């Protein structure tokens, strides 16, 4: 199934149909939106079919099975223990982030992020009329690091909330324990709420993933966002879990969700997630191997078959961050070549912040034959 191209056109796909409709170019291959072009695990598909056949798609609740399956997955894969009561269902992590912004901060309050960064998180701050404070990551010898001097200076100036991502999107860093300890230390000193987006945690390559949840006992103002939807390629079913030990913060999110009219999961969400967490290990293992091979393939292509391109060494995610500054091409030049000549869509580096100028992001969670077609087109014009 990982070598099979399944057409996603005319399915209202945000990855395929939206970009084709926007550009009017039906030849485009999109390597953009961070979902996978792989069919889901058969166990998930079978469970969805089973509940579909039932025929009554009524309101559903989060089940005990769902909570226990989520708890076991966390404990088996992220190496920290939780109580099932700490899990709060939210359709998407970005919704939970927005609800905390809206309710735990005031207009014009300062909220900090590390950039370059996935734009919807930055936009959640802007659209809610809060002041976005950015701390630029430092690129040293092909690897990104936190500038802790800059971070401390800015966060000490009235920042109310830090939104961080690990593995980081788009640069692929998986923050080390020492880095996380320093973040917690500084945020605790200035009483800053930490929201840690960890939706890519199941795609960490050659190191151990350390969750911010390991610091629950040290600092109470920490919230974790994780998403089985990202891991098992079911984002359209809208499933994420917000892990909150602090009872006050947890009860606040439950209230915010109710105030926003978010109550029941979709009919297919709960059975799909249960099937994924209970039966999806084999599928995920194969998917990760395919993705790792694709990452190596992409690195070899950009660095050995083209001139002036360098792939940043990513420690997690199935996203590739490519440095093309040595080519001398502007972003407009590259866009024209990629979109209009090669017919390949990519994510502009500038959309992640000014630090992304000279870079672009591509998603390699696709069948190899699709990448081969896209890279062949790119090579023809570059």
The CATH number that applies at residue 109 is: 3.40.640.10
Identify the domain containing residue 308 by its residue range: 17-41+281-381
In a domain, 73, yes or no: yes
Helix, strand or coil, per DSSP, at residue 145: strand
| Domain end marker among 263, 279, 295 | 279
> Is the domain of 238 the same as that of 367?
no
324 Cβ contact list (under 8 Å, min separation 6): 308, 309, 310, 334, 358, 359, 360
Q: How far is CA 287 from CA 69, 83, 248, in A?
A: 21, 29, 38
Q: Using the 3D structure, point to which of 279, 305, 331 is the last residue of a domain.
A: 279
Shared domain check, 288 and 275? no
CATH number, residue 293 = 3.90.1150.10
Kindly state whether residue 6 falls inside one of the protein's structural domains: no
**Claim to verify: residue 205 and residue 294 sit in the same structural domain:** no
Asked whether the beta carbons of 298 and 311 are under 8 A apart, the reply is: yes
Same domain? 239 vs 346: no
Rounded distance, CA 338 to CA 344, Å?
5
> What's the confidence (pLDDT) of residue 1?
83
290 and 215 in a single domain? The answer is no
Q: Do 117 and 189 sit in the same domain of this protein?
A: yes
**Neighbouring C-beta atoms of residue 288, cutoff 10 Å:** 17
pLDDT above 70 covers a percentage of the chain that reads 100
Question: Does 5 map to a domain?
Answer: no
Distance of CA 21 to the CA centre of its chain: 24
Bridge pairing between strands 193-197 and 159-165: parallel
Nearest to 75 by CA among 214, 178, 276: 214
**4 found inside a domain:** no
**Ranges in the chain, pLDDT < 50:** none
Angle at 83 between CA 79 and CA 87, to 5 degrees: 95
Kindly state whether residue 12 falls inside one of the protein's structural domains: no
Residue 23 inside a domain? The answer is yes
| Cα gap 115→150, rounded to integer Å | 12
Please tell me whether residues 112 and 131 are part of one structural domain: yes
Q: Is residue 49 part of a domain?
A: no
Q: Are residues 254 and 128 in the same domain?
A: yes
Spatial CA neighbour of 272 closest among 235, 247, 241: 235
Whether residue 77 is found in the same domain as residue 21: no
Same domain, 188 and 226: yes
Q: Residue 184 burial by CB count (10 A; 0-12/13-18/19+): exposed, middle or buried?
A: buried
Is the CB of residue 295 less than 8 Å from the CB of residue 314?
yes
Structural domain contains residue 46: no
Answer positive or negative: Cα dihedral of 276, 281, 286, 291. Answer: positive
Distance in angstroms (rounded) separating the CA atoms of residues 300 and 239: 35
Domain boundary among 279, 311, 328: 279
Q: Is residue 301 domain-shared with residue 175, that is, in the same domain? A: no
Output the pLDDT for position 338. 97
What's the number of domains the chain is made of?
Answer: 2
Coil vs helix vs strand at 360 = strand
In this prediction, residue 263 carries a pLDDT of: 87
Are 199 and 329 in the same domain? no
């Amino acid at each position: 199934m990982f070598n099979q191209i399944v057409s996603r056109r005319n399915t209202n796909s945000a990855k395929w149909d939206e970009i084709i409709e926007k550009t009017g170019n039906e030849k485009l291959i999109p390597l953009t939106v961070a979902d996978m072009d792989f069919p889901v695990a058969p166990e998930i598909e079978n469970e969805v079919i089973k509940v579909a056949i039932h025929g009554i798609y009524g309101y559903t609740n989060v089940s005990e099975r769902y909570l226990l399956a989520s708890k076991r997955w966390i404990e088996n894969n992220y190496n920290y223990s939780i109580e099932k009561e700490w899990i709060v269902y939210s359709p998407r992590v970005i919704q939970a982030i927005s609800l905390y912004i809206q309710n735990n901060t005031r207009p014009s309050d300062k909220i900090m992020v590390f950039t370059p960064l996935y734009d919807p998180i930055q936009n959640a701050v802007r659209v809610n009329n809060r002041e976005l404070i950015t701390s630029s990551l430092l690129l040293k010898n092909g690897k990104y690091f936190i500038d802790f001097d800059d971070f401390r200076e800015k966060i000490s100036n009235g920042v109310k909330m830090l939104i961080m991502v690990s593995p980081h999107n788009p640069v692929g860093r998986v923050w080390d324990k020492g880095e996380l300890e320093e973040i917690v230390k500084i945020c605790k000193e200035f009483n800053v709420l930490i929201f840690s987006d960890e939706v890519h945690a199941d795609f960490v390559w050659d190191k151990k993933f350390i969750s911010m949840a390991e610091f629950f006992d040290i600092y109470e103002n920490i919230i974790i966002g994780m998403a089985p939807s990202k891991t098992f390629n079911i984002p359209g079913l809208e499933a994420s879990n917000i892990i909150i030990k602090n009872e006050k913060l947890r009860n606040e999110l439950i209230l915010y969700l109710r105030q926003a009219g978010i109550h029941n999961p979709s009919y297919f969400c709960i059975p799909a997630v249960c099937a994924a967490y209970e039966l999806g290990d084999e599928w995920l293992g194969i998917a990760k191997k395919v993705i790792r091979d694709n990452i190596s393939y992409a690195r070899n292509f950009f660095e050995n078959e083209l001139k002036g391109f360098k792939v940043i060494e990513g420690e997690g995610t199935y996203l590739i961050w490519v440095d093309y500054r040595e080519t001398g091409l502007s972003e407009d030049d590259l866009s024209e070549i990629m979109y209009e000549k090669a017919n390949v869509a990519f994510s502009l580096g500038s959309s992640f912040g000014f630090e992304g100028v000279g870079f672009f992001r591509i998603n390699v969670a696709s069948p190899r034959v699709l990448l081969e077609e896209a890279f062949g087109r790119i090579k023809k014009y570059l």
